[in-house]
A and B are shown apart, each in its own frame.
Chain A
Amino acid sequence: MLNAIVVGAGEVGISIAQNLSAENHNVVMIDHDAHKLQQVLDVVDVQIVEGVGSHPDVLEQAGADRAHLLIAVTQSDEVNMIACQVAHSLFGINKKIARVRDMAYLNITHNRLYNREDMPVDVVISPEKEVADAVVRAAEVSGSFDVTYMAGNTLALIGLKIPKECAYLGVKFREVLERIEYNFRAISIFREDRVIYPRGEDHLEEGDEVYLLCKRDDRTAIMEELGHQHKPMQDVMIIGGGHIGYEIALQMEARGVNLRLIENNLERANFLAHHLSHAVVLYGDALDSDLLVQENVSAMDAVFVMTSNDPSNILASISARKFGVENVITRVASRMLMPLADTLHLDKVISPREITASRILQHVRRTKSRVEDLHSIHQGKLEVIELKVTYNSPSHGRTVGSLGLSEGVKVSAVIKEDGTVFFAEGHIPVEEGDTLILVTRIECINEIELMV
């Protein structure tokens, strides 16, 4: 059980607190907005302290001398950094994680700033960078809205919506697995607000949100089997040239993609034009359909809508879909608008809050266990965990079927030391040195340490 201090009761802070509290950690939350804190109490079982999170007396009041972990996620980079500094210098808190947004602080060449002697931030999380990476990963695999690579980049965890072109609608999973020549596991289905672990007799329906685990090299082939034609990215449009849009643009340029970038702030557009080499920077409004027609949006392989304004992102995405673009990725920050995006058939919605919270939790869990990697999926309802089996793990020397796991936890894959991947079946043995990929309901997460 960790004592954690979360500075900043914004959406990310609350998400993290919810997760930590669900795992039986003690959380104290600091914010300067008393009203916000009172609302926090309605949704999370945490203690609250009102004040500025970088002030020593406030941290002391929050029990910093007993804390193991500090997560600073206020709106201000500077407050986050100073909070880590104070936590380190005055209270000796072991692990300090800070969210830092401004790219000027994140320049690779200046990274040596973050070390124990100078600016003691153990993990710097940049939501913009994380979101940009996630967008690029998802864009590469046509039809997916979430792609992560696990087990040393050998496995791909892919989230996708089942399209109506899918040839396996209504076919039992047992048969689907037989008919597709590539090996994979469907690890979860999100249907009608419920998460199901698919079994042999379950089947796919149109509109299901499915996560599957496969070898990295098989990913496009399997997606094609499931009805998502692969289209290599040649022409891409980015709407919104903020931090995220700019970061994506840089990554796309590095791949030699033809890029158009729409930005509605003249000054920012000038900045972008100055800093990007090939991209065509357009000064205008994404909701202006004349502009979209002129720039031939319907010929784009992908459109990324990344402004900081949720409603206009949703509208711009709908209009891009109207023009016939299949691969539209939409940034939606607000938790409230998420269900709305879903009903409007925006399949690929990316939430900075979820991504940031998931990344931070990843680092929290790594501090104390054999967990190598971890991803929240289905709005944080499930966690996919990569875990190393050691000599004294309870699972060492048993088989997948005999681990005695509850309903909420499933083993998805076993990766042997030599790199051979076995998609889990009951008889597969588990030994020291293996890497396991597990999926768990959030409320069962503590079981994993005990049983595996």
Chain B
Amino acid sequence: MHYRMIFYVLGVFACGFGALMSVPAFVALFFQEGQAARIFLEVSFATMVTGGAMVIMMRGTNKTMTHKDAFLLTFLTWSVLSIIGSLPLYFTGAAPTFIDGLFESVAGITTTGASVLSGLDSMDHGVLLWRSMLQWIGGMGIIVLAVAVLPFLGIGGMQLYRSEMPGVTKDKLQPRIKETAKLLWIVYLVLTILCAAAYSVAGMGTFDAIAHAFTTVATGGFSTHDASIGHFNSFSIEMVAVLFMFLGAVNFSLHYMFLTTRGRVVYAKDSEFRMFLILVISAVVVLSLMLMSLDVYQASEAVRYSLFNIMAVITTTGYATADYNAWPVLAPMTMLVLMFWGGCSGSTAGGMKILRIMMIVKQSQTELIRLLHPSGIVRAKIGNRTISSEVMQAVWAFAGLYLVTFIVISIVMAAYGLDLETAFSAAGATLTGLGPGLGDVGPASNYASVPQGAKLVLCLSMLLGRLELLTLLVLLMPAFWRK
């Protein structure tokens, strides 16, 4: 393990992160929130000094990076930056305890969007912006950003990129990893700007539009209001949110190809995208029919609420316009299933990713066909490409680990005294990056009431979900630490 190199890079990251923290400081100054501004500036300064000191102490290290280094560095980056990100939340008093601050920060940076804060409507603008920024930075990935910006992460950059990027296969869009990362961030930035503009046109104030654009495209789900998007009670704002949540949950390489090929129909050709669309549409149809037939809403409202909330759940954003917890039981049940599906691979969404689910379904199909044709040669295919057995094994292993992790965390939650519904949904909603769960942690309430120790476990759960388990679990292997 090249610890010097790891700490050097970590120091550089801390400097950059500290610099970003000055943005909410100036916003706070603009809104004349003197105390918040001071705290943000202080933490920002302290972070940059510490990071700078690390860089200076570790300078001259060689830049070779092994697989192991990349895993450890990814873990340390996400956990250290989460801790730094929590400091202003705690010091400004927005979060009552340090653990609450940490939970909020992790929920931000992992784009989970599970919150412990209430009274958002009267909170300092600096704090609100910082929460949104955390989600935005975490959405496309801290390391992807670093690879795009920092010149020295060459080959090692690829190792890091793979340990952070969600999805089954991690394709390069460009021969150089730096260019690939840059493109992803450019697409991300463009989407964010469009989203902010659209919100603003739809009637949001400038600050809200920017803060929500950050968390929409990142499929994060933090809002600047306790009632989330429901606060605005505006059909057009909801539709903007639906559109950009959807775009955020689509594989970014499709967006990139769409932009570079000047609008050739790349989306329709992608089987994961098609499946995503079909899923959303059928879920909306089923749910709105149900809401109508049970007389919860009238036709137009039923479609509006089910479309928004299904999109918020399947993209694991976690905005809310209605308390679906209170809808007939099929609704929360659907939500629970949908959040595990998540968005497309290579997107900002969480969950297991649609591509993985498709692979598992296809593989199961081939097993059935094999029963009918015992000597048939059957291959599982996505589009017209055969799924290689190596990829298939990796997907199965991932699915197994996902299930085990979900169960273990649920049990721990139950041990902390949460009721069944709350325990299961809290574990699921943090692991998949959705945010609000069901029961006591449903869309109408939040995680404030969860015991402190359980919050720490949920922090871990969020990190596990964002880094897709393996990157973190590999650190638990004794063999990882052996020389």
What is the CA–CA distance of A363 and B269 in the complex, to the nearest angstrom? 40
* Known interface pairs A26-B175, A26-B176; A45-B158 also in contact (CB < 8 Å): yes
Considering residues A21, A27, A42, A44, which has the most beta carbons from chain B within 10 angstroms of its beta carbon?
A: A42
- Segment 16-53 of A: residues with Cβ below 8 Å from B: 21, 26-28, 34, 41-48
Cβ contacts B311-339/A at 8 Å (1 or 0 each): 00000000000000000000000000000
What is the CA–CA distance of A301 and B307 in the complex, to the nearest angstrom? 86
- Rounded to whole Å, the gap between the CB of A4 and the closest CB of chain B is 9
Residue on B with the closest CB to A25? Answer: B175
Contacts of A45 in B (CB 8 A): 154-155, 157-158, 175-178
The verdict on B288 contacting chain A, using a C-beta distance below 8 Å, is: no
The verdict on B172 contacting chain A, using a C-beta distance below 8 Å, is: yes
The verdict on B251 contacting chain A, using a C-beta distance below 8 Å, is: no
What is the CA–CA distance of A43 and B155 in the complex, to the nearest angstrom? 6
- Rounded to whole Å, the gap between the CB of B172 and the closest CB of chain A is 5
In the bound complex, do residue A26 and residue B174 qualify as a contact, i.e. CB atoms below 8 Å apart?
yes
A-B contact count (CB 8 A): 29
The verdict on B122 contacting chain A, using a C-beta distance below 8 Å, is: no
- Rounded to whole Å, the gap between the CB of A64 and the closest CB of chain B is 13
B interface residues, how many (CB within 8 angstroms): 13
- Rounded to whole Å, the gap between the CB of B394 and the closest CB of chain A is 12
In the bound complex, do residue B158 and residue A47 qualify as a contact, i.e. CB atoms below 8 Å apart?
no
The verdict on B159 contacting chain A, using a C-beta distance below 8 Å, is: yes
Residue on B with the closest CB to A24? Answer: B176
What is the CA–CA distance of A41 and B162 in the complex, to the nearest angstrom? 11
The verdict on B375 contacting chain A, using a C-beta distance below 8 Å, is: no
In the bound complex, do residue A34 and residue B175 qualify as a contact, i.e. CB atoms below 8 Å apart?
no
Contacts of B174 in A (CB 8 A): 26, 47
What is the CA–CA distance of A425 and B155 in the complex, to the nearest angstrom? 38
Contacts of B157 in A (CB 8 A): 45
In the bound complex, do residue B159 and residue A34 qualify as a contact, i.e. CB atoms below 8 Å apart?
no
The verdict on B261 contacting chain A, using a C-beta distance below 8 Å, is: no
Cβ contacts A55-83/B at 8 Å (1 or 0 each): 00000000000000000000000000000
What is the CA–CA distance of A189 and B285 in the complex, to the nearest angstrom? 75
In the bound complex, do residue A42 and residue B155 qualify as a contact, i.e. CB atoms below 8 Å apart?
yes
The verdict on B388 contacting chain A, using a C-beta distance below 8 Å, is: yes
In the bound complex, do residue B172 and residue A42 qualify as a contact, i.e. CB atoms below 8 Å apart?
no
What is the CA–CA distance of A42 and B163 in the complex, to the nearest angstrom? 13
What is the CA–CA distance of A41 and B67 in the complex, to the nearest angstrom? 12
What is the CA–CA distance of A8 and B154 in the complex, to the nearest angstrom? 22
What is the CA–CA distance of A14 and B296 in the complex, to the nearest angstrom? 64
Partner of A42, one of B158, B176, B178, B388: B158
- Rounded to whole Å, the gap between the CB of A46 and the closest CB of chain B is 5
Residue on A with the closest CB to B159? Answer: A42
- Rounded to whole Å, the gap between the CB of A253 and the closest CB of chain B is 47
- Rounded to whole Å, the gap between the CB of A284 and the closest CB of chain B is 45
- Rounded to whole Å, the gap between the CB of A286 and the closest CB of chain B is 38
What is the CA–CA distance of A419 and B246 in the complex, to the nearest angstrom? 70
What is the CA–CA distance of A44 and B177 in the complex, to the nearest angstrom? 10
Considering residues A28, A45, A46, A47, which has the most beta carbons from chain B within 10 angstroms of its beta carbon?
A: A45
- Rounded to whole Å, the gap between the CB of B74 and the closest CB of chain A is 16
What is the CA–CA distance of A302 and B388 in the complex, to the nearest angstrom? 52
What is the CA–CA distance of A47 and B172 in the complex, to the nearest angstrom? 6
Cβ contacts B171-201/A at 8 Å (1 or 0 each): 0101111100000000000000000000000
Contacts of B158 in A (CB 8 A): 41-42, 45
What is the CA–CA distance of A153 and B386 in the complex, to the nearest angstrom? 56
Contacts of B154 in A (CB 8 A): 45
Closest 4 CB pairs of A and B: A26-B175, A47-B175, A47-B172, A27-B175
Known A26-B176, A34-B388; further 11 A-B contacts with Cβ < 8 A: A3-B175, A26-B174, A41-B158, A42-B159, A44-B155, A45-B154, A45-B155, A46-B175, A47-B174, A47-B175, A48-B172
28 A-B pairs within 8 Å (CB atoms) are namely A3-B175, A21-B176, A26-B174, A26-B175, A26-B176, A27-B175, A28-B175, A34-B388, A41-B158, A42-B67, A42-B155, A42-B158, A42-B159, A43-B155, A44-B155, A45-B154, A45-B155, A45-B157, A45-B158, A45-B175, A45-B176, A45-B177, A45-B178, A46-B175, A47-B172, A47-B174, A47-B175, A48-B172
